[in-house]
């Protein structure tokens, strides 16, 4: 069974939160991170700090009320070291500075003012240019809502994708909680996440490439799919409208939904993906009813074979690309095999199964 990633240190559960999910449930019927991990671990977890829904990165959940009280006090006393990364498309002359302001909520929005006694403080440090974009480090010395976002905006470098604070449009908010550090009961604790894809890109203007990289990294953050090389997984689902990507063992299977065929640029993008993840790729154009069944609908990248195997739930399936017209392994093909039978052959060739994201 595939398990959600987490790190346990000193009685605390640390996770690398994906963007797009709340820290805890915002309303009945919608689960947040803490509820998902409580179910996964079958343990009570306690919320002592939060990340905005659109922000990714480091979160800590104590596993006892006593630890929760102690860590809450550390946050309140500003004894927790927090480091963030963010991306902006604005250039400013300063390279390193600290900014203070008063942050309050007015009506339904958080606002920042320098005309009154400050209650928030953030240190900024420029790291490097990524094409036309600038990568910054932010260290908040307090924990007010939207603090980094407001302070970045106030200094002329609103965060890319921050629709609430005048950031330029982008496919996501480019703000990531990189690490947490504190001392607990005499033990020094440090938790650091992976660097987000947009902070590693040489050219963040290549949005489709980054959306795809972000989709794969999202799965890596959740369940470290790079270690599940033989499994069957959905690696890109709703991130792009034009195609979906599944992993079937050593193959990546692309469901191509555009009316036009993949361009050379598209195929080169998939070839780059294949090399990075050491996979072979098959791109299958999904035909509508009435279209020419003899049209070219399958493109191969890498030294592909018409037959190979992949796993799902401990069962080994033989997959075939030389038979069938409709990709799919349906529910009746997932019935428990007879005792001793652990390998099955199926045609049509591919299953459309994907690991439902529990987040």
Q: Is 23 helix (H, G, I), strand (E, B) or coil?
A: coil
Q: How far apart are CA 153 and CA 161, in angstroms?
A: 12
Nearest to 125 by CA among 95, 80, 150, 149: 95
Q: In the prediction, which pLDDT does 313 show?
A: 82
Q: In the prediction, which pLDDT does 317 show?
A: 87
Q: In the prediction, which pLDDT does 328 show?
A: 53
Q: How far apart are CA 282 and CA 45, in angstroms?
A: 42
Q: In the prediction, which pLDDT does 171 show?
A: 96
Q: In the prediction, which pLDDT does 343 show?
A: 44
The mean pLDDT value of the chain amounts to: 88
Q: How far apart are CA 141 and CA 37, in angstroms?
A: 28
pLDDT tens digits along 167-178 = 999 999 999 999
Q: In the prediction, which pLDDT does 323 show?
A: 76
Reading the block at residue 92, the tokens are 């400013």
Tell me how far CA of residue 338 lies from CA of 315, 335, 344, in angstroms. Answer: 11, 9, 11
Q: In the prediction, which pLDDT does 251 show?
A: 94
Question: In terms of C-beta density within 10 A (0-12 exposed, 13-18 middle, 19 or more buried), how is residue 332 classed?
Answer: exposed
CB 251 within 8 A of CB 281: yes
Q: In the prediction, which pLDDT does 294 show?
A: 55
Which parts of the chain have pLDDT scores under 70? 288-296, 324-359
Q: How far apart are CA 211 and CA 236, in angstroms?
A: 9
Q: In the prediction, which pLDDT does 320 show?
A: 87
Q: How far apart are CA 258 and CA 170, in angstroms?
A: 23
């Amino acid at each position: 069974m595939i398990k959600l990633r987490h790190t346990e240190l000193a009685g605390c559960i640390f996770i690398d939160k994906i963007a797009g999910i709340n820290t805890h449930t915002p309303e009945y019927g919608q689960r947040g991170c803490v509820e998902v991990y409580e179910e996964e671990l079958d343990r009570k977890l306690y919320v002592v700090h939060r990340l905005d829904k659109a922000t990714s990165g480091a979160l800590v959940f104590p596993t006892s009320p006593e630890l929760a009280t102690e860590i809450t006090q550390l946050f309140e006393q500003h004894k927790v070291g927090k480091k963030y990364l963010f991306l902006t498309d604005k250039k400013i002359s300063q390279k390193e500075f600290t900014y203070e302001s008063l942050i309050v909520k007015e009506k339904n929005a958080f606002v920042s003012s320098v005309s009154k006694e400050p209650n928030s403080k953030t240190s900024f440090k420029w790291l490097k240019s990524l094409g036309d974009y600038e990568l910054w480090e932010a260290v908040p010395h307090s924990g007010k809502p939207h603090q980094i976002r407001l302070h970045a905006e106030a200094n002329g470098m609103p965060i890319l994708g921050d629709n609430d604070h005048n950031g330029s449009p982008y496919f996501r908010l480019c703000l990531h909680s990189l690490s947490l550090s504190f001392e607990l009961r005499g033990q020094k604790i440090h938790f650091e996440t992976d660097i987000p894809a947009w902070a590693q890109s040489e050219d963040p203007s290549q949005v489709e490439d980054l959306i795809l990289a972000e989709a794969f990294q999202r799965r890596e953050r959740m369940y470290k799919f790079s270690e599940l090389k033989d499994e069957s997984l959905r690696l890109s689902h709703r991130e792009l409208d034009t195609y979906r990507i599944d992993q079937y063992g050593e193959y990546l299977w692309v469901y191509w939904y555009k009316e036009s065929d993949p361009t050379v640029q598209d195929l080169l993008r998939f070839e780059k993906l294949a090399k990075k993840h050491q996979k072979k790729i098959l791109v299958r154009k999904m035909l509508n009813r009435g279209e020419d069944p003899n049209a070219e609908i399958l493109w191969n990248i890498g030294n592909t074979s018409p037959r190979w195997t992949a796993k799902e739930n401990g069962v080994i399936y033989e997959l075939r690309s030389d038979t069938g017209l409709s990709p799919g392994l349906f529910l009746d093909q997932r019935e428990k095999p007879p005792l001793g039978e652990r390998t099955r052959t199926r045609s049509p060739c591919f299953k459309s199964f994907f690991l439902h994201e529990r987040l």
